[in-house]
Amino acid sequence: MAQGSDSNDTSYKSPSPGSRPSSSDDVKKVMRREKNRIAAQKSRMRQTQKADNLHLESENLQKENAALKKEVKQLTEEAKYLSSVLSSHEPLCTGLAPQTPELIYPAPHHSSYHQHITVPHYQH
């Protein structure tokens, strides 16, 4: 809607630069319209700011999502690798039965038995 126009009030004419409203009703209309114009301007500014903030938040969430997907991929690869290491090692551990934790996780003095396992260290 154009400034100074009101579709409901066709009798109102925008005051020219040197003229003054003739009655208190005209002054009230001018004041009301000025207040409305300022309020509309502020509303548009808030709406623009909100859209800008949502855009920034969206970009940040997309970056975070990409980083998390990358981490999931790395962890999945690491889990596959460790699973294959375990699968290849299990036949070598024929004497171990899952009856007690000491048999599954031997005490440090039995560690020489498992020295042939090499596991790479992943950086995260």
The whole-angstrom separation of Cα 74 and Cα 81 is: 11
Range of the domain at 64: 25-90
In a domain, 67, yes or no: yes
How many angstroms separate the first and last alpha carbons of the chain?
Answer: 57
| 85 CB-near residues (< 8 Å, 6+ apart) | 117, 119
In a domain, 3, yes or no: no
- Please tell me the number of Cα atoms within 13 Å of 41 on its side-chain side: 8
In a domain, 46, yes or no: yes
In a domain, 43, yes or no: yes
In a domain, 51, yes or no: yes
The number of domains in the chain is 1
pLDDT tens per residue across all 124 residues of the chain: 445 544 455 555 555 555 555 688 899 999 999 999 999 999 999 999 999 999 999 999 999 999 999 999 999 999 999 999 999 988 888 665 555 555 555 555 544 445 555 555 555 5
* pLDDT score, position 96: 58
In a domain, 104, yes or no: no
In a domain, 35, yes or no: yes
